[in-house]
Amino acid sequence: MSTGKGNPILRASNITKTFGNNTILHGVSVELAKGEIKILIGSSGGGKSTLLQCINCLVVPDSGEIEVDGMVIDITKKKDLYRLRQQVGMIFQDFNLFDHLTAIDNITIALRKVKKISREQATQRARQELEQVGLGDKQHLYPAQLSGGQKQRVAIARALAMDPKILLLDEPTSALDPTLVGEVISVIKRLAAKGMTMIMATHQMSLISTLADEILFMENGRIVEQGTPSVLLAKGNKSRTRGFCDSLNDLVGEEG
C-alpha cells in the first residue's frame, strides 16, 4: 500500500469502530512512509474524523492495530498511549486551544507538562514555533483576540513544538473564513516542503492536488478508492474521486 518511500512510519491495520449499533469504521487500513502525505476525502459522515482519532487513540478502536515507527501500541497501557501521542500530533478543525491561556502559554503548557522541560526552554521553543508560523508578535494574545487563521496557526505551532513524527490534520481550514484559508494553507505547504509526514482530511483542492502522494476516498466507513492525484484526477478518469472533486470545484464556483 505504501507508495514506495521505504518502511512505514505509521501503520493502522484493520481499524474497526462501532458507536451503539452504528459501525463507523469497517476495518480500515492506512500506511504512511516517512515524508509521505495522504489525504482523506469523502462526504460528511464517512468516518474521516473517527479514523484520524482512532490513529492517535483519542477514540479507542474496537479492533485493529496501530504501529508507529516500529512500535505496536498496546492501548491498554498508559505508557504506550503517552508515547503514541508524543509522536503523533493532531490538528483539529476548531483549533482546540485553551481559551484562558495566551498563544505562547498554549504551547508552553504542553512542553512543560508532557516534555517536562524548564519554563525558560519551553518559552524559547514556543517563541521559535510561533515565529515559524508568522505569529512572533502575537505571543501574548488570547485566542479570543486572534482570527481563526491565527488560532489555527497557533495550534499548528503547538503541535510542532512537540516534535511529532506524524501530523494528523482534520479539516484544518474548514472553520475558517475564506479570506483566512490561504495563510493556513501556506503553513501546511511549508511543512510538507520540510518533509513532514501527514494524514489530512481536507476538501481544499489546492492541498489535495499539490500535496497528496495518495488520495483516500472514504465512504460509509471504508476506503472505497485510493490512488495518486495525477491518476485519480486525470481528465477523463471516471473515478469517484474525480467526480467528488469536480463537485467541490462547482461549489467554489457558485460561491464565487
User: With binding defined as CB under 5 A, does residue 87 bind Mg ion?
Assistant: no
Of positions 44, 116, 193, 256, contacts ligand ADP by CB under 6 A: 44
160-199 residues in contact with Mg ion (CB under 5 A) are: none
For residue 109, which amino acid is it?
Answer: I
User: With binding defined as CB under 6 A, does residue 64 bind ligand ADP?
Assistant: no
Cβ contact 96:41 at 8 Å: no
Beta pairing class for 63-68 and 71-72: antiparallel
Of positions 48, 138, 151, 242, contacts ligand ADP by CB under 6 A: 48
User: With binding defined as CB under 6 A, does residue 60 bind ligand ADP?
Assistant: no
- Of 193, 179, 176, 199, the closest CA to residue 12 belongs to 199
Of positions 6, 7, 29, 45, contacts ligand ADP by CB under 6 A: 45
The minimum distance between CB 87 and ligand ADP, in angstroms, equals 22
The minimum distance between CB 22 and ligand ADP, in angstroms, equals 6
Q: Which residue's CB is nearer to Mg ion, number 8 or number 89?
A: 89
User: With binding defined as CB under 6 A, does residue 19 bind ligand ADP?
Assistant: yes
Of positions 9, 24, 31, 49, contacts Mg ion by CB under 5 A: 49
Edge to edge, the sheet with strand 71-72 lists 22-33, 8-19, 63-68, 71-72
Q: Which residue's CB is nearer to ligand ADP, number 129 or number 171?
A: 171
- Of 39, 51, 32, 47, the closest CA to residue 233 belongs to 39
The minimum distance between CB 137 and ligand ADP, in angstroms, equals 34
Cβ contact 6:33 at 8 Å: yes
Q: Which residue's CB is nearer to ligand ADP, number 21 or number 238?
A: 21
- How far from 162 is each of 54, 116, 152, 156, 192, CA to CA, in Å? 20, 11, 16, 10, 17
Query: Which positions ≥6 away from 131 have C-beta within 8 Å?
Result: none
Binding segment for Mg ion among 16-24, 44-52, 74-82, 209-217 (CB under 5 A)?
Answer: 44-52
**What residue ranges in the chain does DSSP mark as E strands?**
8-19, 22-33, 37-41, 63-68, 71-72, 88-91, 166-170, 197-201, 214-219, 222-227
User: With binding defined as CB under 6 A, does residue 24 bind ligand ADP?
Assistant: yes
User: With binding defined as CB under 6 A, does residue 151 bind ligand ADP?
Assistant: no
By CB under 5 A, name the binding residues for Mg ion: 48-49
By CB under 6 A, name the binding residues for ligand ADP: 19, 24, 44-50
